[in-house]
Structure 1
Amino acid sequence: MPRSASSAAQAARERLGARLRDLRLDAALDVRGHAARCGWSPSKTSRIETGRTAPSDTDIRTWCMACDSGDLLADLLADNRQADQLYTEWRRHLRGGYRRLQDDLLPLHDRTRLQRVYTSSQMPGFLQTAGYARTLLTSIATFRDVPTIDIEEAVASRLRRRQALSTAGHRFVVLMEESVLHNRIGNRAVMQEQLAYLVEAMRLPSLALGVIPFASERSAMWQLETFYMFDLDRVIVENLSAEINVTTPSEIALYERAFLALGGLAVYGGAARALIDKALIGLS
């Protein structure tokens, strides 16, 4: 698992390690004494406590037995499994193909009433045109060396997300860095079509779009990786190597706080439309 200060999964692993360390200290065991009781090396104890090694369920059971803390076993096992679920490797995620990946997300989109998105790199999936989605998914598949045979089906599935924009009971708030308007995902025609659709989508009553200008003063909030908030139930964070699923309430609250801060940097309505028009002019 990659170590990253921004990784919710790694943070969860480190919190678990800290809880296990506290159990060891409460049992008056040093690292060597604990390792001897567990029947493994002192370095393994240290790696688990610092989050460098992910413990197995068996390791957690052994740890609790060594510290006479069997009453905490169920909670620790649950924490360990949640940490495992937070981090999904892209290659494993894509084993079923791109269409399955897109289809798997549809129920989450359908049941979400308020979806909030911050993006610093590309258009949100539910605002993408077919040409933009096709170019983006193909480039991701090529980079990750995964099959592209179902790209068209994946594009169709992604476009089905747009239906929620016109479905009663769904609201969307999108914040995007101005750079997203200028990042050329595809050729000039693809980008012209994409930006024109964005202007059209802005007219929908279900969508509030904010654009954070290049010149925004960033002392209050810096650029982050793209993330999607589904009500207050889940946050999905996208980075190069993984999709990170955040479900812990305190961490969701942190993303909500960041979203509100980023929203304060954005412009809306006519000012946002002017930035889109500026990007369109740059393509002509």
Structure 2
Amino acid sequence: MPSPTSPSSIVQQARQALADRLREIRTEAGLTAQALAAAAGWHRTKVSKLEHAVTSPSAADIREWCDLCGAADQAGDLIASLRAVDSMYVEWRRLHRAGLRRQMESRLPLYERTRHFRAYSSWLVPGLLQTRAYTAAVLRSIMRRQRLPDDVDEAVASRMERQRVLHEGDHRFALLIEESVLRSAVCDRGTMAGQLDHLITCSSLPSVSLGVIPMGTGRDRWPVEGFWIFDEEQVNVELVSSYLTITQPREVAEYAQAFAELAAMAVHGEPARALIRAAIDALG
């Protein structure tokens, strides 16, 4: 069963919230599901499917629904909600269609305006803490796997440019990783050793709090997909196949709570650096 903050659960909750609002409008209008379907010229099961989020309405469906229920003034907000749900879940292939560099550049304004960053990663070193060589290895792997145009060098340069937020302005960064990230063989040993050494350097920056959750830690909160929280504005979740954007305040708060629980299991400062040095030693 999906957890309350699992991507599939969050998207379905958003769809169901829209469906519930449509049902409220119909019942407030005193119409049965059958009467509304007949008035709209729809199949008799369509209203039920829309109200149970079995199928998603179109913008035209919402306008027709609201018109027939005497709630035309609510159609605009409901269509905006529909578009928000549709934009929550974007396949990586669609996101990368214009190339990796374009995707990197498109996110720079979000990073520049965010003051408080919180990020958790169970797979990779967070992008803001990656070295040029580590980033190149990761992006080249994505390029090959998704058969994308080779603009890796430009994409790496864009990510390195994004990292200036670590040193400029009043940004604050609370970043968490699982200890397994320190030992994942996503690149050659030399590149990984350089990356781990860079993590030690970054952990000493005044704007950065780096936490490492040790392997073998007793835990109630299991590792989850990597996510970024940008102020209280939005959450981005990185999935195997897609990229999830969450802006509903209640859902953003759920991720903030998950981050707090994960942070409570992490070690910081010198204990975290000791784990990183142990991973460097393990590379031989």
* TM-score, normalization by structure 1: 0.92
The equivalences for 1:139-150 within 5 A come to 139-147=141-149, 149-150=150-151
- 1:131 aligns with 133
Q: Give the C-alpha shift of residue 151 in structure 1.
A: 0.7
- 2:100 aligns with 98
Aligned residue identity for 2:67: M
- 2:55 aligns with 53
1:220-250 superposed Cα distances (whole Å, 9 cap, x missing partner): x222211111111111111112111111111
RMSD over aligned CA atoms reads 1.8
Q: Which runs of 5+ in 1 are unaligned?
A: none
Task: Supply the distance in 1 between the matched residues of 2:125 and 2:11 (Cα, whole angstroms).
Answer: 25
- 2:163 aligns with 162
SS at match of 1:42: coil
- 2:154 aligns with 153
Would the aligned equivalents of 2:7 and 2:244 in 1 still touch at CA under 8 Å? no
Q: Give the C-alpha shift of residue 28 in structure 1.
A: 4.1
SS at match of 2:236: strand
- 2:81 aligns with 79
Identity %: 43
Task: Supply the distance in 2 between the matched residues of 1:163 and 1:5 (Cα, whole angstroms).
Answer: 31
- 1:240 aligns with 240
Task: Supply the distance in 1 between the matched residues of 2:162 and 2:120 (Cα, whole angstroms).
Answer: 17
Aligned residue identity for 2:124: Q
- 1:118 aligns with 120
SS at match of 1:228: strand
1:184-213 superposed Cα distances (whole Å, 9 cap, x missing partner): 111111211111111111111111000111
1:243-272 superposed Cα distances (whole Å, 9 cap, x missing partner): 111111111111111111111111111111
Change (3 A) 1:208 1:20: same
Task: Supply the distance in 2 between the matched residues of 1:234 and 1:262 (Cα, whole angstroms).
Answer: 19
Aligned residue identity for 2:169: A
Q: Which runs of 5+ in 2 are unaligned?
A: none
Would the aligned equivalents of 2:175 and 2:210 in 1 still touch at CA under 8 Å? yes
Task: Supply the distance in 2 between the matched residues of 1:77 and 1:27 (Cα, whole angstroms).
Answer: 19
SS at match of 1:264: helix
Task: Supply the distance in 2 between the matched residues of 1:42 and 1:261 (Cα, whole angstroms).
Answer: 47
Would the aligned equivalents of 1:119 and 1:226 in 2 still touch at CA under 8 Å? yes
Would the aligned equivalents of 2:122 and 2:225 in 1 still touch at CA under 8 Å? yes
Task: Supply the distance in 2 between the matched residues of 1:155 and 1:43 (Cα, whole angstroms).
Answer: 51
Task: Supply the distance in 1 between the matched residues of 2:275 and 2:44 (Cα, whole angstroms).
Answer: 58
SS at match of 2:265: coil
Would the aligned equivalents of 2:237 and 2:243 in 1 still touch at CA under 8 Å? yes
1:124-181 superposed Cα distances (whole Å, 9 cap, x missing partner): 111111121111112222222322x211100111111221111131111101111111
Change (3 A) 1:61 1:239: same
Task: Supply the distance in 1 between the matched residues of 2:144 and 2:27 (Cα, whole angstroms).
Answer: 49
Q: Which contiguous aligned blocks of 4+ residues in structure 1 show a shift greater than 4 angstroms?
A: none
Q: Give the C-alpha shift of residue 283 in structure 1.
A: 1.2
SS at match of 1:164: helix
* TM-score, normalization by structure 2: 0.92
